[in-house]
Structure 1
Amino acid sequence: MIKKIVIIGPESTGKSSLCKALADHFADNYLTDWCPEYAREYLIENGMDYTYEDLLTIAKGQLALEDEHAHALQTALNKSGDTTKEAILFVDTDMMVMKVWSEYVFGKCHSFILDQIAERKYDGYLLANTELPWTRDALREYPSEETRQKLFYMYLDMMVNQNTPWDIVGGINHDRIANGIAAVNRLLI
């Protein structure tokens, strides 16, 4: 069985780094993998002048990438022959991120994204807090602390109003990873 833990939060909150670190840490006791954020690949290839329709394309790409990683992990689990072994897929971004992005930038969200939020099931969410300093890169749009906090509270509102277990992960450097590990352990109980 594959457990899926999704890491969400505003940009530049260490989601990708946390996914990698968690997959590495839990590899001692589980088969693990992590699914990167599809939007990065898409925006690098197509540029930052994206439209509302592009967000639907990105959402579908994210789901396909997640399914690809889940399938590969399930195949590895089946090949292991160990019926007691479990697997964890750490997912960097899901449809909740697409919803926040879409609503924040365009004031609306595709029904496909909303339907996927209702249909897809996860074992837990980690909401990355904003204490990490914003780091410039070609794909990031919101350096202001006010905007980062507004986005964080949009994610927090979604977490509070859904039924999947979740936790906030804060801290810097090793503390953040240790807090993420502790949160995953709580979610897996």
Structure 2
Amino acid sequence: MNKLIKKIAIVGPESTGKSTISILLAQHYKVSWVPEYARYYCENLVAPYTLQDEINMYYGQLALEDAILVTSEKKFIICDTTFVTVKIWSDEMLGETPQIVLDALPKRPYDFYLLMDIDLPWQDDPLRDFPDKREYFMDVWHKELKALNANYKVISGLGDERIKNAIAAVDEFLSK
């Protein structure tokens, strides 16, 4: 894995435009992006998910990320979410986080996070669960990022304003 390549993570509560922003940023900067593994995994679940499913999603997200890192020839990649999401969902839905995830949090940092704000209207999706808990999850994301001492910026705005704000934040990060 190439540790010289910076990882910029797009994170936040449900229905905040993470995937859209990830793709648009990757296109804008002409860099690779890592899709959200959990989406593909959950689309194929036929029973309520378990702690083992969370572990599987953790491994899947890292495998996708590592595959992109070893093939990228750019200075950075865009990650549509991170395995921090596994921690947040495990805590919320199952009351605990797999130890492997807790152990990896300080060992696999991301260089910069864009925390998507909850100012976008909710969009229904079969894989989304909590339209009424967006503020709660925004607070959880702040707490988790602060616990990691993460370098992050909240990205707000509707329509083109959101991607312009994200590009400005990435440009500022890259200029340092």
| TM-score, reference length from structure 2 | 0.92
Please give the alpha-carbon distance, in whole angstroms, between the structure 2 residues aligned to 1:97 and 1:15. 12
Once residues 99 and 78 of structure 2 are traced to their aligned partners in structure 1, the CA distance between those partners, rounded to angstroms, is 25
- Which residue of the partner structure matches residue 70 of structure 1? 69
1:4 maps to which of 4, 7, 27: 7
1:187 and 2:170 matched:
no
Corresponding residue SS for 2:144: helix
Write the distance in 1 (CA, Å) between the matches of 2:97 and 2:69: 26
Maintained 8 Å contact 1:165/1:187: no
Q: 1:109 aligns with which of 88, 97, 107?
A: 97
Check conservation: 2:106, 2:148, Cα contact below 8 A.
no
Q: Distance in 2 between matches of 1:48 and 1:2?
A: 38
Unaligned stretches of 5+ residues in structure 1: 78-85
Paired AA for residue 172 in structure 1: L
Over the aligned positions, Cα root-mean-square deviation in angstroms equals 1.3
SS of structure 2 residue aligned to 1:109: coil
Residues 1:21 and 2:20 aligned together: no
- How far is the alpha carbon of 1:2 from its aligned partner? 1.4
Take 1:115 and 1:89, find their aligned partners in 2: how far apart are those partners? Answer: 23
AA in 2 matched with 1:14:
G
SS of the counterpart of 1:97?
helix
Distance 1:59 1:173, change over 3 A: same
How do residues 145-184 of structure 1 correspond to structure 2 at under 5 angstroms? 147-184=133-170
Deviation at 1:121, TM superposition (A): 2.4
Residue 82 of structure 1 corresponds to which residue in structure 2? none
CA offset digits 1:62-116 (Å, max 9, x no partner):
111111111121xxx2xxxxxxxx4221001112111111111112111111111
CA distances 1:145-172 after superposition (whole Å, capped 9, x unpaired): xx11101100011222333311111111
Which residue in the other structure is 2:88 paired with?
Answer: 100
Q: Are the aligned partners of 1:95 and 1:114 in contact in 2 as well (CA < 8 Å)? A: no
Shift of residue 134 of structure 1?
A: 1.2
Identity of aligned residues (%): 38
> Would you say how many aligned residue pairs link Structure 1 and Structure 2?
172
Structure 1 residues 88 and 129, CA gap change in structure 2 (3 angstroms)? same
- Pair member with larger Rg: 1
* Aligned residue among 131, 142, 162 for 1:143: 131
